[in-house]
Amino acid sequence: MDQNKQYNNNFLSNVIFRIDFPQIEQIVENLPDEFKSKIATDFPILEPIEELAVEFEGTNLEIQTRKVNNKIWKFYSNDKNKAVELNSKYLALIYANKSYKNFTDFQAVVDKLLEIFFELYSPGVITRLGLRYINEINIDDKSSVLDWSKYINEKLVENLAFGSSEIELDIRRAFNLFVFNIGSSDFINFKYGIFNQVFPEKIVNKDFILDYDCHARSPFTSKEDIISRITQFNQKLSNLFEDSIKEDLRVILNK
């Protein structure tokens, strides 16, 4: 994550940049043709998504969905590992499947998207800004699926000892949340632990999640302000990642 600290590999399943803004009427239902043409070289595949609202109706609280007149225009790269989402209320850049390499390259794509977005839509004010890194750490290790003492800061995994053989607890999920305030309106939601993709079945894979979501709700009015803030976010999240892991994991990251 860090611009200075570089590893040969990563466990990043998703990296997400997102801005929210007051509704732009011309994007509600109309295909943003100019935006589409300006990003076509890097994101040529368009797959619109109908936004749905979920409601509970009746005495049995039956789930109903209804169409919301507000499409999500989703543009993919050729390999579909990268995507841009444009909605009348937000713009997002999503890197999936370990397609993220470093912050410098990611920031350059963000910068280009913001340049196009501000030129075409003049949003006035950005009401929310977010940068998120989701690490899905998979280790080929013969030790217990609950034993992360070699790889993860012991303060983050000591609760796993609660499922000891002495009291015969069979842990199926152990997921935790910290919320850090890092400024007047800047926060980090840090979720970590064993999520267990096959829950409620028994944990069979040695997987651990480190999910860092940094966001601000102070208003932003320019591309430069946004780039400056996500650069600060990246540094803070990189430092938090380094505090979360141990040397044996760094060895794996540098293979």
Q: What is the pLDDT of residues 209-218, one digit of tens each?
A: 999 999 999 8
Q: How many other C-beta atoms are found inside a 10 Å radius of the C-beta of residue 80?
A: 12
Q: What is the pLDDT of residues 188-234, one digit of tens each?
A: 999 999 999 889 899 989 999 999 999 999 899 999 999 999 999 99
Q: How far is CA 153 from the centre of its chain?
A: 22
For 1-5, 19-23, 106-110, which range has the lowest pLDDT when averaged over its residues?
A: 1-5
Per-residue pLDDT, 30 = 87
Per-residue pLDDT, 65 = 62
Q: Which of 50-64, 116-130, 151-165 has the highest mean pLDDT?
A: 116-130
Per-residue pLDDT, 2 = 47
Per the listing, tokens 């007149």 go with: 69
Position 254, amino acid: N
Per-residue pLDDT, 75 = 98
Per-residue pLDDT, 3 = 41
Arithmetic mean of pLDDT over the chain? 90
Q: What is the 3 state secondary structure string of the chain?
A: CCCCCCCCCCCEEEEEEEEECCCCHHHCCCCCHHHHHHHCCCCCEECCECCEEEEEECCCCEEEEEECCCCEEEEECCCCCEEEEECCCEEEEEEECCCCCCHHHHHHHHHHHHHHHHHHHCCCCECEEEEEEEEEEECCCCCCCCCCCCCECHHHHHHHHHCCCCCCCCCCCEEEEEEEECCCCEEEEEEEEECCCCCCCCCCCCEEEEEEEEEECCCECCHHHHHHHHHHHHHHHHHHHHHHECHHHHHHHCC
- Judged against a pLDDT cut of 50, whether residue 147 lies above it is answered with yes
Per-residue pLDDT, 64 = 60
